[in-house]
Structure 1
Amino acid sequence: MTTVSTSAVPSNAECRATLTDGRTLTITASRRPRANRADVKCTVPNAPAIAEHMQQVVRLARHTEPRLDSRDQVVLSMDITPSATERDWELAAVLADRMVRGLHPARPGMITTAQGHSDAWHTGRVTGAVRTTAPGDGEGTLQITHLGALLGHADPSAAISTVRAWFPLHSGGINDTLGWVEVSVFPLEAPAATEEDSIAVPGLDLTAQQEVKQTLTAARHFDGKGLSRWRSVVRFGQPRFQGGSYQLALVMADRLARGREFVPRGRIIASGCSSAWHAGRVDTVDGRESKLELIFNQVNSGDRVLLPKDWQDHLPPGFAAGLREKGASLACIDKIGMI
C-alpha cells in the first residue's frame, strides 16, 4: 500500500477561481491538529452563509475518499467574497482541501485554478475544469466530470450505494406529505476511528445531526457488521421537521444501502423511533391516526409499509386489506432485522 509521508504533505495550500466579474478568488487551506475541533472550518469575509456552504461542499466531497483520517482540522478561507449566487468556486475549495492533505499533487511554485460546481458532491460528480501552471511543465487544463478523473481513476459514484425511504411528514395541515430520507454509503479502506466522524448530515441543525448520527451508529451496532466500515451521507428531502418518527425510515434506508435488507418493488414507507436501536427495538410514535390516513392516501403498488408493533391492534378497519388492494404490503414490527 502506498502512503504519503508527512514531509510530503504541505501545511498550507492555495487554489484559485475566476469570478464572473473577472476577479481572481484565492482559497487558502491550512492544516493543524484537530484537538477536538471541527474537522473543517471555513471563513469568508462578511459572508457566514457562504462559509457554511463551503464547509458543506468540502465535507460532502470527502465522501468518496477511501480513507478517513480525522486527526487534523483543515481551515479554509477566501480572500474576497463572491456573490451569493456564484458557485464555480466550489471545485477550488475541494481541491484546496485535498492539496493540503496530500491527496492532490501540489509542487512548490505550482499555480492551480479550478472552475466547477456540483449538486451531488457526495457522489464525486462535478462539471468543471482544472488549470495548472507548474515550473518546467508549462500550462495544462483538464476537463472533468467526476473527481476520480483528477488522478486518472474511474468515476467513484459506481462504488456508492444510495437508497431512499419515506416517512409521513404530519403537521395537521394541507401540506402533510410523505418525506424522504436518503442514505449514501461508500466503503472505507480502513476502519474509521469513530463512527460519527464518518457520517455527514448536511442541511440539519446540530441537534438533529447528532440524533441522526446516534441513530445510525446504534442500529449498525445491532447488525454487528456495520460499524467503522462506511462513509455515509444522510440527506432529507425536507430538512425542516420535528420529532423522531423518521428514524425507522432512516435505519431501513441505511440497511438497504448496505445490503442488509431485501429491496422492495416500490418504496419503503416507515414510521417509528427507538430508545434502544442498539438492541434493534422499534418503538411507537405519536400521531397514529393522521399518519395512517396519510400513508393510505399516498401508497402505491409495490410499496412496503412498516409500522410499530404497538399500532397493529389499532389499525382502522380495512386498512391492511386496502393496502393489499392497492398492491402494497404491510408489516407491524417491534424489531429490525425480522421484517
Structure 2
Amino acid sequence: MRPAVVSWRCQSAQTVLEIRLQLRPAHGRAAIKVMQQGRPATPPLAQAVQGHLQWQSFCAGFEAAPAGQQLLCELSHEPAGEDWPLACWLALLALRNPASGLPAQGAAGAQPDAQWHGALPLFHAAPPLPGPALRIARVYFPLIGAAPELAWVEAAQLACAPPAESALQVCGVAPDLAHAVCDTLQAARASECAPVTRWRSLLRFGAASGALQKFSGNSWQLAAVLADRISRGCELPHLQGRLIASGASHAWPQIDSVDGCAAKCALLRAQAQSGDRILLPQAWQAQLPADFAAAMQQQNCQLKLVGKIGFWQPSDAVRTA
C-alpha cells in the first residue's frame, strides 16, 4: 500500500535536513511544487529540486507525479552537502513505488556510523528499480567567466510507440534557458532525415561545482545537440571516454564560431584528460594558440575542428588509453 506522506532525512552541512513528499490533486497546478519552511522555495532551489526529481523518475520509467496529481516536496531548510539528492530520490521511491521496500521514514547518507539519523534505517545507495530501455549521453562544454570550469549537458531518451508523440523537455534550469535548449534541439532535428523512432527526451545541465540553472552565451548548443544525437544513436555510436564540444549554429547542420577561443583553450589545457575527444568550431582554425594542438596530442586527447554535425564516423572512434 502506498504511503500518504513520506519523510526522509539526511545530513546537510551541520544540521539535519528533512524532506517530506506527498501527492495531492493538481487542480491545474505544476506537476512538482517545492516548499521551504512553509513558503514557496526560491526559483533556483525549486528548479534544482524539481530537476532532480524529474530526472530520476524519468530514468526509472515513471512520472514523479501521476496524471492529475501534484507532487509536493517540503524541505525543512535549504539543502547543502552531497546527501540531499539521494534522500530526495529515496523518498520519491518510497512514495511512488511501494514494491521498492523502502520505508515511509528513513535516512540517506554516505556515513554508516552517522548518529544524526537516530533510530531510522540508513541507506547509502538507491536500490535497483527496473525501468524501460533508456539511453543516456553526456557531453561537456567549457564554461568561462569568474570561475571557469567544464560544465556538462546530459540527454536521456526513451523510445515510445505510436500513438504516443515525441516529447522534449529540459529540467532543472531557468525557463528561458529551457526554451532556448528546446528551440535549438528542434532546429537541429529538423536538419535530419525523417525520424524512424519517436522519443521522449529529457535534458539537464550540471558541473563539478553543482547544478547549472542559468548562464549566458550560446556555446552550449553544440554539446546539447551532440548529447541528443548520441543518445538517439545518430552520432558517435562507439564513443569511449569524455566528449567535449564548444560551438553554436544559426542554421544546422552548420556549426558557427563562438566567443572565448583563448580562454576556452586555456581551460581545456588545464582540465582535459587522457582519452578526451575535443570538438571545436572550424572557424577557430586561425585563432587557436600555436601550440594548442600539440599540447592536446601530448595529453593523449583527440582534437577535431568541425564545420557541421554528422562528421564523426564509427571508424573514427579511438580507444581510451
Is the shorter-chain TM-score for this pair beyond 0.5, marking a shared fold?
yes
Counterparts in 2 of 1:221 and 1:234: CA distance versus 1, 3 Å: farther
**Match in the other structure for 1:15:** 5
When Rg is computed on C-alpha atoms for both structures, the one with the higher figure is 1
Amino acid aligned to 1:213: C
Cα distance in 2 for partners of 1:31, 1:190 equals: 29
Deviation, 1:58, is: 3.3
Aligned-partner SS, 1:255:
helix
Counterparts in 2 of 1:38 and 1:227: CA distance versus 1, 3 Å: farther
Cα distance in 2 for partners of 1:275, 1:308 equals: 13
Cα distance in 2 for partners of 1:264, 1:273 equals: 21
- 1:58 alignment partner, one of 53, 61, 70: 53
After superposition, the CA RMSD in angstroms is 4.3
**Match in the other structure for 1:308:** 281
Aligned-partner SS, 1:280:
coil
**Match in the other structure for 2:154:** 183
TM-score by length of 1: 0.63
- 1:252 alignment partner, one of 226, 229, 234: 226
Amino acid aligned to 1:46: R
Aligned-partner SS, 2:247:
coil
Deviation, 1:77, is: 3.6
Deviation, 1:285, is: 0.5
Q: Is the 8 A contact 2:108 2:124 kept in 1?
A: no
Amino acid aligned to 1:217: Q
The C-alpha deviation readout for 1:182-219, integer Å capped at 9, x for no partner, is: 414242444654523xx3332x2221222223323333
**Match in the other structure for 2:205:** 235
Counterparts in 2 of 1:94 and 1:325: CA distance versus 1, 3 Å: closer
Deviation, 1:85, is: 4.9
Counterparts in 2 of 1:17 and 1:289: CA distance versus 1, 3 Å: closer
Deviation, 1:272, is: 0.4
Say if 2:39 is the partner of 1:46. Answer: yes
Q: Higher relative contact order at CA 8 Å, sep ≥6: structure 1 or structure 2? A: 2
Cα distance in 1 for partners of 2:216, 2:161 equals: 35
* Aligned pairs for 1:255-270 within 5 A: 255-259=229-233, 260-270=235-245
**Match in the other structure for 2:71:** 76
**Match in the other structure for 1:3:** none
* Aligned pairs for 1:167-246 within 5 A: 167-171=141-145, 175-177=147-149, 179-190=150-161, 193=165, 195-196=167-168, 199-202=169-172, 204-224=173-193, 225=195, 228-237=198-207, 238=209, 239=212, 241-246=215-220
Counterparts in 2 of 1:94 and 1:295: CA distance versus 1, 3 Å: same
Aligned-partner SS, 1:314:
coil
5+ residue gaps in structure 2?
A: 111-119, 313-321
Q: Is the 8 A contact 1:89 1:114 kept in 2?
A: no
**Match in the other structure for 2:265:** 292
Cα distance in 2 for partners of 1:25, 1:234 equals: 22
The C-alpha deviation readout for 1:138-176, integer Å capped at 9, x for no partner, is: xxx9x9964655xxxx4x4x95444332222222x6x43
How many residue pairs match? The answer is 279
**Match in the other structure for 2:117:** none
TM-score by length of 2: 0.66
Say if 2:249 is the partner of 1:274. Answer: yes
